[in-house]
Amino acid sequence: MDTATKLEFIQALPKVELHMHLEGSLEPELLFEIAGRNGLKVPFASPEEIREKCNFTSLQSFLDLYYEGHKVLCTHADFKDLAYAYFKRVSVTNLRHAELFFEPQEHTVRGVKMEDIVMGLTEGCELGLKEFGITSELILCLLRHYDVANMMDTLKAALPFKQYIKGVGMCSTEIGYPPTLYTEVFQFAKDNGFRITSHAGEEGPPDFVRQSVEILGIERCDHGIGMRSDPAVVKLLADKKIGVTMCPISNVLLKVTKSIPYSPIRQYLDAGVMICFNSDDPSYFGSTYIDENYEAVEKEMGLCVAEWVKIARDAITMSWVDDAERASLLAEVDAVCAKYGVAV
């Protein structure tokens, strides 16, 4: 397959995104629009100034700017518009399904109601399905910089809206916050029927990934870069069929890894770990959504066609769709392969 045809094939593959923070898709123009209608002042002169500040030296330098953006989101309409804008942007990428993080603690601490957050996002997701045919689920993502009591209060406040929330995850600063701190929180989430994932090994050591698997009981590992130095942890994820939701562009721009080829993509593929590529917080990374992440990996690494097929299928396998939707999505992959003469 020549280069142009290969790129066309990669674009044609049906995509599933499993690691995308809705607040991280708040483009600067929408941030200013929402701030204006809410009568809020922002510490930036223009959308261009926000983009100029997106030159990060670490995860924490990103988080400082990222949480500033949360402050404009106040109403049901704000959260609806946030979700809808994401679906409109990715409607051109052959995205079929998305499982999307949202971070209520940074909003409820300002007095925003859980109902407005969840139901606003849900309305935006419903519009994404109606207008663009993209199915989705919401994942409540807890923040490590809040204490365990706050996490528990947040989960309890979300229980009345459980039918709209598929899973629970965890993110934010990792160093100094080992998974062992959160056993009670994740047990509560599991007891209440939520699916479980967590950011682990983004900046933390391999043992944080191991603890997340063996103590928290995660079903997916978000980022997982840090386990690269411990083959036993890599094997643990392969053996337990726990997929890793990798974010290639994010990991480079936040200095988690030196470059896309230096990231453990090749290591994980060779070890039989399921991986998929995702956009993480695209509006803060040069508006690089799932399609740009696929393109960046291909440009930098030139994976073979069979590996691209595996990545597309692994994303579907790792997702929390029901059996009927999973079968339909896998059939779409097969149909694209057949169109391009790729053996399944």
Contact of 206 with 226, CB cutoff 8 Å: yes
Classify residue 3: in a domain, yes or no: no
| 329-322-249 Cα angle (round to 5) | 55
Q: Does residue 84 carry a pLDDT above 90? A: yes
Contact predicate 123/80, CB 8 Å = yes
* 184 catalytic residue (yes or no): no
β-strands 15-21, 95-102: how paired?
A: parallel
Q: Is residue 5 part of a domain?
A: no
Give CA 264 to chain center in angstroms.
18
* 1 has a pLDDT exceeding 90: no
Confidence of residue 88 (pLDDT cuts 50, 70, 90): very high
Examine the pLDDT at 248 and tell me if it is beyond 90: yes
Residue ranges making up the domain that contains 168:
14-339
How confident is the model at residue 237, as a pLDDT?
98
Q: For residue 18, what pLDDT is reported?
A: 98
Tens digits of residue pLDDT in 257-315: 999 999 999 999 999 999 999 999 999 999 999 999 999 999 999 999 999 999 999 99
Q: Is residue 1 part of a domain?
A: no
**Residue 184's pLDDT is what?**
98
255 in any annotated domain: yes
Beta-bridge mates of residue 223? 200
Retrieve residue 118's tokens: 């969840």
Tens of pLDDT, residue by residue over 51-82, are 999 999 999 999 999 999 999 999 999 999 99
Q: Are 124 and 84 in contact (CB under 8 A)?
A: yes
Whether residue 2 lies inside any domain: the answer is: no
pLDDT at residue 343 in the model: 87
Report the CATH number at residue 47: 3.20.20.140
- Encode the chain in three state secondary structure: CCHHHHHHHHHHCCEEEEEEEHHHHCCHHHHHHHHHHCCCCCCCCCHHHHHHCCCCCCHHHHHHHHHHHHCCCCCHHHHHHHHHHHHHHHCCCCEEEEEEEECCHHHHCCCCCHHHHHHHHHHHHHHHHHHHCCEEEEEEEEECCCCHHHHHHHHHHHHHHHHHCCEEEEECCCCCCCHHHHHHHHHHHHHCCCEEEEEECCCCCHHHHHHHHHHHCCCEEEECHHHHHCHHHHHHHHHHCCEEEECHHHHHHCCCCCCCCCCCHHHHHHHCCCEEECCECHHHCCCCCHHHHHHHHHHHHCCCHHHHHHHHHHHHHHCCCCHHHHHHHHHHHHHHHHHCCCCC
Structure tokens at 231: 């083959």
Cβ burial, residue 249 (10 Å; 0-12/13-18/19+): buried
C-alpha–C-alpha distance, residues 334 and 1, integer Å: 17
Q: Would 4 be classed as within a structural domain? A: no
Residue 57 belongs to a domain: yes
Count of CB atoms situated within 10 Å of the CB of 210: 19
Task: Report how far residue 261's alpha carbon sits from residue 65's, in angstroms, rounded to the nearest whole number.
Answer: 27
Residue 6 lies in a domain: no
Question: Tokens 């939520």, residue?
Answer: 194
- How much is the mean pLDDT over the chain? 97
How many independent structural domains does the chain possess?
1
Contact 237, 273 (CB under 8 A): yes
Q: Calculate mean pLDDT across residues 238-242.
A: 98
pLDDT of residue 298: 98
Token pair, residue 26, equals: 């708040």
Band of pLDDT at residue 85, cut at 50, 70 and 90? very high
The pTM is what?
A: 0.97
Choosing from 27, 99, 202, 203, the catalytic residue is 202
- Per-residue pLDDT tens for 185-231? 999 999 999 999 999 999 999 999 999 999 999 999 999 999 999 99
